[in-house]
Amino acid sequence: MKPFRRHKAIVAPLDRANVDTDQIIPKQFLKRIERTGYGPFLFFDWRRIQDGPDAGKPEPGFVLNHPVHKDAEILVAGKNFGCGSSREHAAWALNDYGFRCVIASSFADIFHSNAGKNGLLLVTLPEEDVQTLMNRAKEYPGYQIEVSLEDQTIRDDEGLVLSFSIDPFRRDCLLQGLDDIGLSLKHETALDKFEATHDKDFWTSPRPDSGPTVGPQETYEQAKAN
Amino acid sequence: MSQKTLFEKVWDSHVVVAPEGEPALLYIDLHLLHEVTSPQAFEGLRLAGRKVRRPDRCVATVDHNVPTTANRLVIEDAIAARQMDTLRANCVDFGIALYDVQSKEQGIVHVIGPELGFTKPGMTIVCGDSHTSTHGAFGALAFGIGTSEVEHVLATQCLPQSRPKTFRISVEGELGPAVTAKDIALGIIGRIGTDGATGHVIEYAGSAIRALSMEGRMTVCNMSIEAGARAGMIAPDETTFRYLKGREFSPKGGEWETAVEEWKSLATDPGAKFDRELVIRAEELAPFVTWGTNPGMVVPVTERVPDPAASHSAAERNAWERALEYMALEPGKAIEDVAIDRVFIGSCTNSRIEDLRSAAKVVSGYHVHPKVRAMVVPGSQQVKKQAEEEGLDEVFRTAGFEWREPGCSMCLGMNPDILSPGERCASTSNRNFEGRQGRGGRTHLVSPMMAAAAAVSGHFTDVRKWHFNAVESYETVS
């Protein structure tokens, strides 16, 4: 995972609350089996004109289509960002598009966790601070801020300084870009011990015993041949 | 002194270690898998040279992508087919039981888990799907996770988790006729909002919850995530034990008695403290219909589409205006005057036998409105079989509904079941987000009875005023 220490970049203001993961990455792109390549599909429906003769062309009113936000790597959005589906593809798509940080007054739980696993920093700020950043990003073309996870601050060139709090463990993982499976496996002895007692419970038995596939084994190839 | 909530009992008994300054390492009893959120997790294991620690604690099925038409072995969509083939290969390689599309027990992962008896009280259950909260109906701690966490659980059978807060929602009193578990869920979300329970595990309590069947409890817990909750839970009781007894993977013989004794001890102790509490009167709930683009934008069927002028803040006004524009609705329009094009009865929220029975009761002796296309997608092969034994399929087919094969279907439209742009749908699913059921599609969330009544009427109608035909028997349908 790519570590996050400090990052200065253009801010894109997405002034909507409750942005759900269905909007961040619509369902038709969840069929792929890779972790990468989702960037072009980020906010797919919002980025395109839906109806009429220009359907499919870029929607000029959408914030990411504005030329000044072309290179934005920080997104400021309304409350409850990332609600809905647990699809990690949302975090992958934001990352792949080039975003390193999302700022909002609140985030949905599962999205929060998914972002952390992919080095995408989520900064939670009070509503009024989010509004300040939103307004400045709308008013000043090419508005940039520097987000420092080390200092837990956000600064712009106008002298604005905002500080934010973040769970210390999450901060540490992001700063170091830690693989948390590795972290959990540090506790393998404790895990073995726990499991030995826990397994005496009835939780896993009875269990399916008819092989990896339960039921008839007919394959797609056979079905297609018939 | 040490009174504990249901959540605390389950949590405490699953903490492997709680290192200072780190999240607790929580042991996971059951890991459910499906084709959409698992391929990258298995790939991650391979890249790191890791194994699945406990394949016996994993169960997989295919549900999100599967076609719901009769010949579903041939899949036109090559990318979807590849995703399902990938799950098959992964299950073989890592030794995980897979309820494949040909299995007599295939179905939506949150329907088959409980139905087969995999889901049990006191367990920790995860799945790469936000509606994993469904399993909390049994007194399990069940929550949705992302794909990196799927990989984490496959590798370690654990998850680092920070302890959520607790929130008890008590629904007291008796539900009115034709007011269902779905209306409890929508009523709660309408009240607290789609982020009303973020960071919390909800325990649903109160006489109206106790009176619900397991199917109803699953519907309520299923929608916990729509209020932002990490999970929803209901203490196990006799209703739970009756449901579980004799299920394929329920404890047998002497183990059953031991299990029930243990499960009985899970209920929240009297006097245990919650971080938040809310009491709702069941009598104040009505059949609900969502009017906007998230499940919190909801009103009783007897009301009107709200006016953004009446919103509480600029941000809310903005959201309401945008939602009304997307939904093509005018403020002040009576909900009962809103005409629909499609009806979808299905999804992990409302595709169980009781849901189908209640919808069939409404439909019986009627025909789907000529301008409406309506479909029923049972939650699993077992639900489908039982419904067919009870003759429900005939009731639906005679009335002009499509009777389809099990899967997630039009809840999220990953398979060919989608709305066309501009189509308006009465849906028993869980999300009315923009484009959720198909680009430009307009979703209104309702209960199965409300969906059935809308199918017949061609518009929303208060099912409390419905004239039921042939309530005693489904066979009198002409």
Written as one letter, the residue type at A40 is P
CB atoms within 10 A of CB A210: 9
Written as one letter, the residue type at B121 is P
pLDDT of A8 strictly over 80: yes
% of chain B residues with pLDDT over 90: 93
Chain B 125-184, CB below 8 Å of chain A: which residues? Answer: 128-130, 144-149, 151-152, 155-160, 162, 164
Quick: pLDDT tens for A120-131.
999 999 999 999
Quick: pLDDT tens for B12-49.
999 999 999 899 999 999 999 999 999 999 999 999 99
pLDDT category of residue B72 using cuts at 50, 70 and 90: confident
Compare all CA atoms of chain B with the CA of A185 and give the residue at the minimum distance: B156
Residue B477: predicted pLDDT: 36
CA-based nearest residue to B102, from A207, A222, A219: A219
Mean pLDDT of chain B: 95
Chain B 416-435, CB below 8 Å of chain A: which residues? Answer: 421, 431, 433-435
CA-based nearest residue to A88, from A108, A104, A103, A106: A108
Contacts of A205 in chain B (CB under 8 A): 251
Interface test with B, best of A50, A88, A131, A173 (most B CBs within 10 A): A88
> Which of the two residues, B122 and B415, has the higher pLDDT score?
B122
Quick: pLDDT tens for B199-239.
999 999 999 999 999 999 999 999 999 999 999 999 999 99
% of chain A residues with pLDDT over 70: 89
Q: Which residue in the set B30, B65, B228 is minimally distant from A31, CB to CB?
A: B65
Residue A1: predicted pLDDT: 82
Orientation angle between helical segments B214-222 and B353-363, nearest 10 degrees: 100
Quick: pLDDT tens for B316-363.
999 999 999 999 999 999 999 999 999 999 999 999 999 999 999 999
pLDDT category of residue B1 using cuts at 50, 70 and 90: low
Residue B429: predicted pLDDT: 98
Residue B478: predicted pLDDT: 31
Beta-carbon separation of A86 and B414 below 8 A: no
Beta-carbon separation of B56 and A213 below 8 A: no
Cα(B115)–Cα(B249) distance, rounded to whole angstroms? 9
Cα(A161)–Cα(A108) distance, rounded to whole angstroms? 26
Residue B476: predicted pLDDT: 37
Quick: pLDDT tens for B127-140.
999 999 999 999 99
Interface test with A, best of B12, B59, B141, B156 (most A CBs within 10 A): B156
Residue A179: predicted pLDDT: 78
Q: Can you tell me the ipTM of this complex?
A: 0.93
- Ramachandran class of B173: left when φ > 0, alpha when ψ lies in -120 to 50, beta otherwise: left
Residue B471: predicted pLDDT: 53
Weakest mean pLDDT among B87-91, B304-308, B392-396, B471-475: B471-475
**Chain A: nearest CA to B137, how far in angstroms?**
17
Q: Summarize the confidence of residues B146-153 as an average pLDDT.
A: 98
CB atoms within 10 A of CB B89: 12
For chains A and B, CB pairs below 8 A equal 234
pLDDT of B290 strictly over 70: yes
What is the SS3 assignment for chain A?
A: CCCCCEEEEEEEEECCCCCEHHHHCCHHHCCCCCCCCCHHHCCHHHHECCCCCCCCCECCCCHHHCHHHCCCCEEEECCCECECCCCCHHHHHHHHHCCCEEEECCECHHHHHHHHHCCCEEEECCHHHHHHHHHHHHHCCCCEEEEECCCCEEEECCCCEEECCCCHHHHHHHHHCCCHHHHHHCCHHHHHHHHHHHCCCCCCCCCCCCCCEECCCCCHHHHHHC
Please return the burial class of B242, using the count of CB atoms within 10 Å of its CB with bins 0-12, 13-18 and 19+.
exposed
Q: Which residue in the set A22, A86, A215 is minimally distant from B102, CB to CB?
A: A215
Query: By the CB < 8 Å criterion, does B327 face chain A?
Result: no
Residue B419: predicted pLDDT: 96
Q: Summarize the confidence of residues A86-104 as an average pLDDT.
A: 98
pLDDT of A206 strictly over 70: no
**Chain B: nearest CA to A79, how far in angstroms?**
9
Element (H, E) at B360: helix B353-363
pLDDT of A212 strictly over 80: no
Contacts of A217 in chain B (CB under 8 A): 102
Contacts of A173 (CB under 8 A, 6+ apart): A1, A116, A180, A183
Beta-carbon separation of B17 and A187 below 8 A: yes
